[in-house]
Amino acid sequence: MSNQTHRAAQGGIVDRSRTIGFTFDGKRYEGHAGDTLASALLANGVHLVGRSFKYHRPRGILTAGSEEPNALIQLGDGPKTEPNLRATQIELFDGLVASSQNRWPSLNFDIGSINNLLSRYFPAGFYYKTFMWPPSFWMKYEYFTRRAAGLGKAPEAPDPDRYSKTFAHCDVLVVGAGPAGLAAALAAGRAGARVILADEQPQLGGSLLASTDQIEGKSADEWVVDALAELGRMADVRLLPRTNAFGYYDHNYLTLMERVTSHLASPASHLPRQRLWRVRAKQVVLATGAIERPLVFADNDRPGIMLANAVSTYVRRYGVLPGRRAVLLTNNDGAYRAALDLAEAGGTVAAIVDLRPEVSGPMVDAVRAKGIEVLANHAITGTSGKLRVDGVTVMQLARGGVFGEPRSLSCDLVLHSGGWTPSVHLFSQSRGKLKWDDALSAFVPGVAAQVQRSAGGCCGNLSLGDCLDDGHSAGAEAARDAGVSGDAGRAASALGGDFIPAPPVWIVPSDKPVGHNGKHFVDFQNDVTAADVLLANREGYRSVEHLKRYTTMGMGTDQGKTSNINALGILAEAQSRPVPEVGHTTFRPPYTPVTIGTFSGDDHGDLLEPVRRTAIHHWHEGANAPFENVGQWHRAWYYPKAGEDMHAAVNREARAMRTSVGIVDASTLGKIDIQGPDAAKLLNFVYTNAWSKLDIGRSRYGLMCGEDGMVFDDGVTTRLGEHHYLMTTTTGNAARVLGWLENWLQCEYPDWKVYCTSVTEQWATVAINGPMARRLLGELTSDIPLDNESFPFMSMREGSVAGIPARVFRISFTGDLSFEVNVPSSYGHALWTALMAAGEKYQITPYGTETMHVLRAEKGFIIVGQETDGSTTPQDLGMNWIVSKQKGDFIGKRSYARPDTARGDRKHLVGLLTENASEVLPEGGQIVAELKDKPPMVMLGHVTSSYFSPNVGRSIAMAVIKNGRNRMGDTIFVPLADRTIRAKVVEPKFFDLEGTRIDG
Amino acid sequence: MLLIDCPYCGPRAELEFSCGGEAHIARPLNTEAISDAEWADYLFMRKNPKGTQYERWNHARGCRRWFNVARDTVTHKIYKVYKMGEPKP
Amino acid sequence: MKARYSIFSLARNARNYHENWTEAWRSPQPKAEYDVVIVGGGGHGLATAYYLAKEHGITNVAVIEKGWLGGGNTGRNTTVVRSNYLWDESAHLYEHSMKLWEGLSQDLNFNVMFSQRGLLSLGHNQHEMREIHRRVNSNRLNGIDSEILGAEQVKEFCPILDTRPNARHPVLGASLQRRGGVARHDAVAWGYARAADDRGIDIIQNCEVTGVRIEQGRVLGVETTKGFIGAKKVGCVAAGHSSVLATMAGLRFPIESHPLQALVSEPIKPVLHTVIMSSAVHVYVSQSDKGELVMGAGIDSYNSYAQTGSPPVVENLLNALVELFPIFSRLRVLRTWGGIVDVCPDASPIVSKTPIQGLYFNCGWGTGGFKATPGSGWVFAYTLAQDRPHKLNESFALDRFINGYLIDEHGAAGVAH
């Protein structure tokens, strides 16, 4: 037995044979396996573990669970450091490094505690009333307030650990493995249900792990061992310790965070640190227990002031004596148990200060039998001690205040208990309605909104027997309602004390008015006092939500688990209204904080979103092509030769294509196979032009618009057979277009016989462009005649290319002679390399998307999404010719007749030529007709595409500008941040104006 | 996360579906004849009820079929799932 | 006149244990009739009331709120303020709002903590960069501060951002509006409420409108849970319930209501000193003065009036966050919540007269409502007072859905926030 000065000689379920070393604020300590950081620190006599958020007051450990508001710790260091963890939840492991937060230079001496001295100037919401002068200075004040705020520190390097996510389904999900939860899981499991039992603690058993009660003739912790063994034997029961069920969403979908390895010193590398369980349960049993309610008395926040039940837990579960001489302040019998526990473990209880006017009963007799003084009708009116409580002042209660001589009691531990608050968080998240229980002075589950049951402490059933009965029937009924018919057995029977609720005391009176001397803390973490609550109420912040937001009450990392109810009580009392009329704030997920990494799992980095690569991708990589993200695709951008930058490479590629032959990987274009007798009807409906007369083997370009008449996609569609078409779409829009077609076919025209199938991935496409395209292709095919007559522009032929079965389309995105060869994807690479080999003698040049854009811009071809933006009609693009006047109704048609859409002076697509031929306009440049010295200036439109064109020998640009078609020849200006560029409005076409190159 | 009972595949998580908004909006047959206001009504105006909404869903990451759902927009309770073309319950 | 808030009044009150502060606004019973009744006690409604009094001298006004002031989207948003909108109509309106933001704390004598810490919109591909250039140029020529940063400058401006070029969505650059930032959302509602109350306006909480009384095409007042309240003019500013109110008045609106989720992390010491938005990976994030990371993304996909959202939306948002900020992975989500936003087909609001005389609507702000609060209230007050729109909101009329004059902010905004 070591330097653990406050470890009791015996007791507890920690493994005393294993001693574990750890450090806190650089100092070495020892604890045992099974300890939490909190219990180990207490075993070493350490209470001071942190500083409060606002006043930097010294703070200790208040609780023994996840509701802890004070003991927030920075765990570890380097990239694995984690801020704001609760010492009460951190499992001790060898080499654990912990430090306190929000203090400088040290925990014992914190400069920030000057705020405490000045605290009278910092009431709730003080910042709304000041820092307004001089007007521009808020940012300067903010610099300091921001630094003062915050708690722990973020890591400075990326998280080296892995997280994972999983889905699960079950008949019955039981949340909480205390008496009610275990009973529920046993009943449901015995009945044969698929059960998941989750509990946030490392050991299942909840309050039973520190209980003195008997179940089925065994001690409570023995019964837990047997129950877990029985559950372990059931094949369809999954036990999830260290798992925080934190969210309850629609249709019985719950989210749980499991700490898989984050509690271990050296975890196995194949396991994730934490795991997100996404559970869909047929039935849910909530057995989330209750949280002890603090009492709001003067200076109730010093280290060494703890909740009574937490002291019991430290004594009985961890074998730790949090203090040697204690005073208990309570309004209920239940807390007497803690005094007995402490006394039995060797501590002294100086007095029990009971707020009730009269006390009697077995618990009172029991403590008196131990020689403990009971001061009924008394209150603690103040506490003393700098970094640890060293005494309390006690006075007698009368008429809502105190009177008589104050009596000082020295002590190193104060226990307090204001009763219990059921944990209705998940019930409320599930949108169940809460009701007020007067006897308990607490909200309990009312009308459920989902298929769930609450059992045990979270319903306000606080005696052990009730919990076991309640849990058993909830589990049995849940299994039955999930359709499982086995025998659920009977509920376990218990021997133990009943819980007798007592009337609440929202503010424990002191000898001075609240706020005048000493601080009655309600929310420890955010330093909200009873006086702050009263101030908010006085100032009109009377709704609970206003109270919360004005004072920050309940907005800390504990989300007010110990404090909200007291604030409600104080507010209600101040307004002379019953608590349920005041209401409660909304319970939101997560129940306790959940690591961001857990939500993200593996879904980041390369797995954030799928990357799509073409069949020819590896060739592009081999050629050192940089890639451009287009939708999910990676497309080769350009192919730099040694020493070339992008500009040089693109100039070379663009020139080469126009002079000889270039090839481009066009596999990413969307391809939709459309079949059925009504296929032409569909095309007529979704495209603006007419499709009825397209011959088999011929292709046609189409613009697709929304019902609002705005262009949303374009592409070439080819008629492959009588009732068979192949539609192409833009790269980014393929899925959207398929969805669009299906939408109309399934919802509006189910009688049309048309079937659409995406075949984008099935085909690899290589476009061969340039004057030598025909000769090159001719060398690789013998069964497709390539002359203009046999194979005219806008048609398709099937045959073989380089020995590969192929569909060849004579369509062109360059204006030059072009063949787009489609082969089954697996042959894509073979086709490309065959073309490169055969093309060597023609100096064949592969080109990427950038050159493709230059080439199409030379011809004035649009790119949907670049020349258009969702507010562009075909007419705006000067493509009136593609909007059929003859055919019947089609998508978009009606909208063209709307006054604004029919306007003649909308923004039109035009070309721009800069006055300085070598100057390239920046894309996105805004255009004005009238130049001013400085903004604002009236804008006409913007530059949509702009390049240097080696084939035209100058820069070229396309733009959309107001009334552009009537501004031909005008000079416009593009004012940039550093210069202004002048340009002339021209037709949007710059090369091969007569269109003679298309046939080679 | 909703549990939606696809009439073709059975109950699946909301993740597999995409919502197509208000159902039973028929495309006007006489688009030439109707006024701009009537056209706007079809294009843009929506009931957006607080309560039961009849809406279209697509099992986009499943069978890709569209169908209708009657769902409460406050409680998210799904009252009925029915196929395209079936009458509004 | 109310006692002014200042460091001096704070010190003075400290001597009396802060027991002499008076209420920030009264809680009056509704009168039988008002010149103007504003339905909706959020930021926009309270701002409308304030500017009715301040700019137009109309003080016989009631603001009716079904719950508590600022309890709708005012108290649920991610507090981003910016004015770098693409289209002239939006840019002018939001910039007007920005100018009001810049003097708001002093105007209201209530510190709304408007922090102009700058706002970066990241570009992750060529298309986004082109759109960023387009928007920045447009902003600049509209007189709105806006600039382009390259990838390296982005890294300099926000060092903790992952700007590796081989990321799935690499950061190629960004637009920066230095005057953009965040403000304390609740304080905006409270500040306007206090200032409006000071000018004699009645703020009536816990009073739900159950009907709009209309006779012969003219509004007469509203039915409420506190009885009928007569009004010469009624202005509806109830985000999340616009369609419900429109239906009461027999109108059909081009609006759909969707949840918009937000979340905060636990508070940490300052690490993020600006606002970051990304549409390719879909997240926006800033760090509050309290130290919490405040995050949001796009709207949930289906209509809902429940102020809760769908959990996969949160997962996606946090995937994106970890992608941009790998050091945030070990921080923890503290609280998630949802608001209900009313969305128009063109992602722009309606601030408009209606076919019913004396009935006006201000709605459809989608995800852009908070930043517009002062400007929205200002133009709506003008519209109510003058019975015609101000030049700044004349394009945001209902009839644009009929004539086709939409202001489509979907195009370049991406994450429209």
Q: Which residue of A has its CA nearest to B60?
A: A739
> Does C305 contact B2 at a Cβ distance shorter than 8 Å?
no
- For residues A893 and A914, give the distance between their C-alpha atoms in angstroms, rounded to a whole number: 36
pLDDT of C123-153, one tens digit each?
999 999 999 999 999 999 999 999 999 999 9
pLDDT of A624-665, one tens digit each?
999 999 999 999 999 999 999 999 999 999 999 999 999 999
- Residue A117's pLDDT band (boundaries 50, 70, 90)? confident
Neighbours of chain B (3+ CB pairs under 8 A): A, C
Q: Which residue of A has its CA nearest to C6?
A: A130
Whose tokens are 């637009």? That residue is C175
Q: What is the pLDDT of residue C415?
A: 33
Q: Which residue of C has its CA nearest to B56?
A: C302
In contact, A821 and A830? CB cutoff 8 Å: no
Which amino acid, one-letter code, is at A339?
A: A
Alpha carbon distances (Å) from A419 to A176, A644, A977: 20, 77, 67
Q: Is the pLDDT of residue C183 over 80?
A: yes
- For residues A670 and A61, give the distance between their C-alpha atoms in angstroms, rounded to a whole number: 62
Radius of gyration of chain A (CA): 38
- For residues A313 and A38, give the distance between their C-alpha atoms in angstroms, rounded to a whole number: 11
| Averaged pLDDT for residues A955-971 | 98
List chain A residues with CB under 8 Å of C269: 147, 150-154
Angle subtended at Cα A817 by Cα A812 and Cα A823, rounded to the nearest 5 degrees: 65
> Does A280 contact B3 at a Cβ distance shorter than 8 Å?
yes
In contact, A37 and A22? CB cutoff 8 Å: yes
Provide the percentage of residues in chain C whose pLDDT is more than 90. 95
Of A721 and A144, the structure prediction assigns the larger pLDDT to A721
List chain B residues with CB under 8 Å of A707: 43
Average pLDDT taken over every residue of chain C: 95
Cβ atoms within 10 Å, residue A108: 12
Mutate to test the interface with A, among B8, B22, B36 (most CBs of A within 10 A): B36
Cβ contacts below 8 Å, chain A against chain C, sum to 315
Does residue A29 sit in helix, strand or coil? strand
Supply the ipTM of this predicted assembly.
0.98
Alpha carbon distances (Å) from A427 to A430, A536, A569: 5, 29, 21
Does residue A623 sit in helix, strand or coil? coil
Give the β-pairing of A163-175 and A274-286.
parallel
Window 848-907 of A, Cβ < 8 Å to B? 889, 893-895, 897-899
> Does B66 contact A431 at a Cβ distance shorter than 8 Å?
no
| Averaged pLDDT for residues C241-245 | 97
Please check whether residue C14 touches B, CB under 8 A. no
pLDDT of B36-48, one tens digit each?
999 999 999 999 9
Could you give the maximum distance between any two Cα atoms of chain B, in Å?
43
Which amino acid, one-letter code, is at C283?
A: V
Does residue A229 sit in helix, strand or coil? helix
Q: What is the pLDDT of residue C416?
A: 31
Window 362-381 of C, Cβ < 8 Å to B? none
> Does B43 contact A708 at a Cβ distance shorter than 8 Å?
yes
Which of C254, C256, C311 is opposite residue B1, by nearest beta carbon? Answer: C311
Mutate to test the interface with C, among A74, A117, A128, A525 (most CBs of C within 10 A): A128
> Does A146 contact C270 at a Cβ distance shorter than 8 Å?
yes
Q: Is the pLDDT of residue A68 over 60?
A: yes
List chain A residues with CB under 8 Å of B21: none
Average pLDDT taken over every residue of chain A: 96
| Averaged pLDDT for residues A877-892 | 95
Which of C131, C319, C332 is opposite residue A595, by nearest beta carbon? Answer: C332
> Does C252 contact B45 at a Cβ distance shorter than 8 Å?
yes
Which amino acid, one-letter code, is at A140?
A: K
Please check whether residue A77 touches B, CB under 8 A. no
Q: Is the pLDDT of residue A2 over 70?
A: no
- For residues A293 and C108, give the distance between their C-alpha atoms in angstroms, rounded to a whole number: 40
Instruction: Lowest mean pLDDT of A115-124, A241-250, A575-584, A774-783, name the range.
Output: A115-124
Q: What is the pLDDT of residue A1?
A: 45
> Does A280 contact B13 at a Cβ distance shorter than 8 Å?
yes
- A979: which residues sit within 8 A by CB, 6+ positions away? none
Q: What is the pLDDT of residue A116?
A: 87
Which of B2, B36, B73 is opposite residue C303, by nearest beta carbon? Answer: B73
List chain A residues with CB under 8 Å of C142: 935-936, 939
Q: What is the pLDDT of residue C411?
A: 55
- For residues C235 and C248, give the distance between their C-alpha atoms in angstroms, rounded to a whole number: 14
Which of A250, A708, A748 is opposite residue B76, by nearest beta carbon? Answer: A250
Q: Crossing angle of helices C88-102/C369-386, nearest 10°?
A: 100
Which of B19, B43, B50 is opposite residue C301, by nearest beta carbon? Answer: B19
List chain C residues with CB under 8 Å of A542: 27
In contact, C131 and A925? CB cutoff 8 Å: no
Which of A707, A893, A897 is opposite residue B43, by nearest beta carbon? Answer: A707
Q: What is the torsion angle, in degrees rounded to the nearest 10, for the CA atoms of residue C379, residue C383, residue C384 and residue C388? A: 170
pLDDT of B19-33, one tens digit each?
999 999 999 999 999
pLDDT of A362-398, one tens digit each?
999 999 999 999 999 999 999 999 999 999 999 999 9
Does residue A597 sit in helix, strand or coil? helix
Q: Is the pLDDT of residue C417 over 50?
A: no
Q: Is the pLDDT of residue C412 over 50?
A: no
Q: Which residue of C has its CA nearest to B75?
A: C306
Which of B3, B36, B78 is opposite residue A898, by nearest beta carbon? Answer: B36
Q: What is the 3-state secondary structure (H, E, C) of chain C?
A: CCCCCCHHHHHHHHHCCCCCCCCCCCCCCCCCEEEEEEECCCHHHHHHHHHHHHHHCCCCEEEECCCCCCCCHHHCCCCEECCCCCCHHHHHHHHHHHHHHHCHHHHHCCCCCCECCCEEEEECCHHHHHHHHHHHHHHHHCCCCCEEEEHHHHHHHCCCCCCCCCCCCCCCEEEEECCCEECCHHHHHHHHHHHHHHCCCEEECCCCEEEEEEECCEEEEEEECCEEEEEEEEEECCCCCHHHHHHHCCCCECCEEEEEEEEEECCECCCCCCEEEECCCCEEEEECCCCCEEEEEEECCCCCCCCCCCHHHHHHHHHHHHHHCHHHCCCEEEEEEEEEEEECCCCCCEEEECCCECEEEEECECCCHHHHHHHHHHHHHHHHHHCCCCCCCHHHCCCHHHHCCCCCCHHHHCCCC
| Averaged pLDDT for residues A57-65 | 97
Which amino acid, one-letter code, is at B2?
A: L
- C202: which residues sit within 8 A by CB, 6+ positions away? C26, C28, C30, C31, C34, C61, C62, C63
> Does A739 contact B58 at a Cβ distance shorter than 8 Å?
yes
Q: What is the pLDDT of residue A422?
A: 97
Alpha carbon distances (Å) from A992 to A18, A814, A815, A989, C330: 86, 10, 8, 8, 59
Q: What is the pLDDT of residue C1?
A: 64
Window 5-24 of B, Cβ < 8 Å to A? 13, 20
Does residue A232 sit in helix, strand or coil? helix
Q: Residues of B at the C interface (Cβ-Cβ below 8 Å)?
A: 1-2, 14-15, 18-19, 21-22, 36-37, 39-41, 43-50, 53, 55, 71, 73-76
Q: What is the pLDDT of residue C390?
A: 98
The values of phi and psi at residue C357, to 5°, are -65, 135
Which two three-digit tokens encode residue C309?
């959202």
Give the closest-approach CA distance of A459 to chain B in angstroms. Answer: 23
Order across the sheet with A699-705: list the strands. Answer: A699-705, A711-721, A724-729, A670-675, A755-758
Please check whether residue B80 touches A, CB under 8 A. no
- For residues A773 and A817, give the distance between their C-alpha atoms in angstroms, rounded to a whole number: 7
Cβ atoms within 10 Å, residue A683: 25
Please check whether residue A533 touches C, CB under 8 A. no
Does residue A484 sit in helix, strand or coil? coil
Cβ contacts below 8 Å, chain B against chain C, sum to 68
Which amino acid, one-letter code, is at A164?
A: S
Please check whether residue A134 touches C, CB under 8 A. no
List chain A residues with CB under 8 Å of B31: 889, 893-894
- For residues A187 and C383, give the distance between their C-alpha atoms in angstroms, rounded to a whole number: 66
Please check whether residue A643 touches C, CB under 8 A. no
> Does B58 contact A743 at a Cβ distance shorter than 8 Å?
yes
Q: Crossing angle of helices C185-198/C369-386, nearest 10°?
A: 20
Cβ atoms within 10 Å, residue A398: 12
| Averaged pLDDT for residues C406-411 | 79
Q: Which residues pair with B18 in a beta bridge?
A: B58
Q: What is the pLDDT of residue C409?
A: 79
pLDDT of A187-237, one tens digit each?
999 999 999 999 999 999 999 999 999 999 999 999 999 999 999 999 999
Please check whether residue C305 touches A, CB under 8 A. no
Which of B15, B22, B36 is opposite residue C402, by nearest beta carbon? Answer: B36
Give the closest-approach CA distance of B36 to chain C in angstroms. Answer: 6
Please check whether residue A603 touches C, CB under 8 A. yes
Which two three-digit tokens encode residue A157?
């390097």
- Residue C413's pLDDT band (boundaries 50, 70, 90)? very low
Q: Crossing angle of helices C43-56/C185-198, nearest 10°?
A: 40
> Does A146 contact C289 at a Cβ distance shorter than 8 Å?
yes
List chain C residues with CB under 8 Å of A711: none
In contact, A679 and A698? CB cutoff 8 Å: no
Per-residue DSSP letter, A748: I
pLDDT of A427-465, one tens digit each?
999 999 999 999 999 999 999 999 999 999 999 999 999
pLDDT of A658-709, one tens digit each?
999 999 999 999 999 999 999 999 999 999 999 999 999 999 999 999 999 9
List chain A residues with CB under 8 Å of C127: 630, 865-866
In contact, A173 and A185? CB cutoff 8 Å: no
Please check whether residue A739 touches B, CB under 8 A. yes
Cβ contacts below 8 Å, chain A against chain B, sum to 55
- A15: which residues sit within 8 A by CB, 6+ positions away? A32, A33, A34
Q: Provide the residue count of chain A.
A: 1000
Buried-state track C263-272, b at ≥16 Cβ within 10 A, e below 16: bbbbbbbbbb
Q: What is the pLDDT of residue C79?
A: 96
Q: What is the pLDDT of residue C414?
A: 36
Q: Which residue of A has its CA nearest to B18?
A: A739
Does residue A982 sit in helix, strand or coil? strand
Please check whether residue C387 touches A, CB under 8 A. no
Alpha carbon distances (Å) from A106 to A110, A154, A525, A665: 6, 19, 19, 64
